[in-house]
Amino acid sequence: MNKLTRLSTLAAFAVGLGLAAPAQAALVSITGGSATGSLPSGNSVLGPAGITFAGGSIIKNGTLRISEDDVTLTLYFVGSESGWNDQIRLGNTAGAPLYHTETFGAGAGGGVHNPEISIGSVTQDAGRANLRFYWTNPNPDKLLVKNGYSPPLISGQGRASLAFAYLNELDQIVKDPTNRILVLLDDAFGHHPDRDYDDGVWILQASTPVPLPAAAWLLLSGLVGFGAVARRRKTATG
Ligand SMILES: [Ca+2]
Ligand SMILES: [Ca+2]
C-alpha cells in the first residue's frame, strides 16, 4: 500500500466516523429579540424544574428558525404555573398538526413536571418554526401569539409573548446554539401580562434522520482499510 492509498484509507475512515455520529450543527436558531440573563420575575417553573443558567440568556420576543428541511421537532412538556387553558400547536409538512392542551394548574396533578413529558413529534421544513399558541377557553379559540409575531389583543390587555433559550443536556441555559430549545409562554388574555413566562414551559428537541445504512457501510469500509494498514505495518516490522 503506497502512501496515497494509506492516506485515502484514513480519510475514508474519518468520513465513516463523521457520518456515523449524529449531526452536530444546530438545526434551529434564535434570531432577534432581547436577551436577559436572569429568571423572569415571578417565574414558578424554571427553578423547580432544575433549569439553570450556564452563560446563556433567555431571549424574549425572538424568532425560532429552522436551518434545514425535514427537521423533526419533538415537544416535551416541562410545566405551567397557569390554570388557564392554553394550547400549543405545531404545524408540519406532513400529517396532522401536533396539539397540546395545557389544563393543569400548580399543585397536585399539575405544576412542574420533571422528567419532562413527551407530547409528540412533527416534521418541519427550513424557515420560521411553525409554533402557535391559543387560549382555548372559552370558545372560539383565540390566537395568543405565534413564533415571531404577537398579535394585538383587546385594548388594555397587552400582548402575549414568547421567549426562547438554548438548553444543553443538563438543562442549563447556554450561549452556543443547541438543538434543544426552551420555549416559554407568557399569556395575556383576560388580564395584563405580568411577564413571568411560566404560563406554559416546553422543550423542543430538533433532529434529522441519520442515514444509518450508508454511515455504517462507510465506517465498516474504513475499519477494513485501517485493518489492512495495521496488518501491513505488522508485516513490515515483523
Ligand atoms: Ca404571565
Ligand atoms: Ca404566570
Ligand 1 centroid vs 43 CA: distance in angstroms?
Answer: 8
Ligand 2 centroid vs 195 CA: distance in angstroms?
Answer: 8
Cell 441519520: give the residue: 210
Quick one: which ligand is closest to 186's CA? 1
Q: Where are the domains of the chain?
A: 23-207, 210-238
pLDDT of the residue at 225: 67
Ligand 1 centroid vs 195 CA: distance in angstroms?
Answer: 5
d(CA 131, CA 164): 12
d(CA 48, CA 79): 10
Cell 496515497: give the residue: 4
SS3 77: strand
Q: Would you state the cell numbers that stand for residue 108, as one nine-digit string?
A: 397536585
Kindly report the pTM of this predicted structure.
0.76
Q: How many residues are present in the chain?
A: 238
Q: Please answer whether residues 167 and 178 qualify as being in contact, where contact means their C-beta atoms are separated by less than 8 angstroms.
A: yes
Could you report the average pLDDT of every consecutive run of 10 residues in the chain (238 residues)? 57 50 76 95 91 97 95 90 74 82 53 79 94 82 87 75 96 97 87 84 91 66 65 57
pLDDT of the residue at 182: 98
pLDDT of the residue at 157: 72
Question: Which residues place a Cβ less than 5 A from the ion ligand 1?
Answer: 186, 194, 196, 199
Ligand 2 centroid vs 52 CA: distance in angstroms?
Answer: 19
pLDDT of the residue at 234: 59
Which bin fits 171, alpha (ψ -120 to 50), beta or left (φ > 0)?
A: left
Ligand 1 centroid vs 42 CA: distance in angstroms?
Answer: 9
pLDDT of the residue at 115: 72
Q: Kind of pairing, strands 172-174 and 52-53?
A: parallel
Please, what's the largest Cα pairwise distance for the chain?
Answer: 87
